[in-house]
Amino acid sequence: MKTRIKELRARHNLTQEDLARKAGVRRETIVFLEQGKYVPSLQLAWDVAKALKSKIEDLFDLDD
């Protein structure tokens, strides 16, 4: 899975901790999401997209 979370996070000047706080998850989860190692639930994908003022389809690419 590919993600643009890190890129958009940097654009919004957010640390991983800031993003984790906005999305209501642990910082470790953001780390795994950025590495594309964890496939989030729809709820989490929505929360992260909302925190980054983006759309889910712009953030995540599930095509392997």
Partner 1 sequence: MKNDKLRFYFMIILLGLIIGTGVLYLAEVIRGEALRFGNGTPLILLLIIVIFMIFFIKHRSRDINADLPMEDERSKKVMTQAAAMGFYVTMYWLLAISFFESFFARMFGVVKLDAGQVVGGGIAGMSIIFIIAWFYYQSKGRLL
Minimum CB distance to partner 1 smaller for 35 or for 58: 35
Residues forming contacts to partner 1 in the complex (CB under 8 A) are 17, 20-21, 24-29, 32, 35-41, 43-44
| Least CB distance to partner 1 at residue 32 (A) | 6
Please say whether the beta carbons of 56 and 47 come within 8 A: no
Burial of 54 (0-12, 13-18, 19+ CB in 10 A): middle
**Minimum Å distance from CB 8 to partner 1?**
20
Q: Bridge partners of 60?
A: 3
Least Å distance, CB 64 to partner 1, is 11
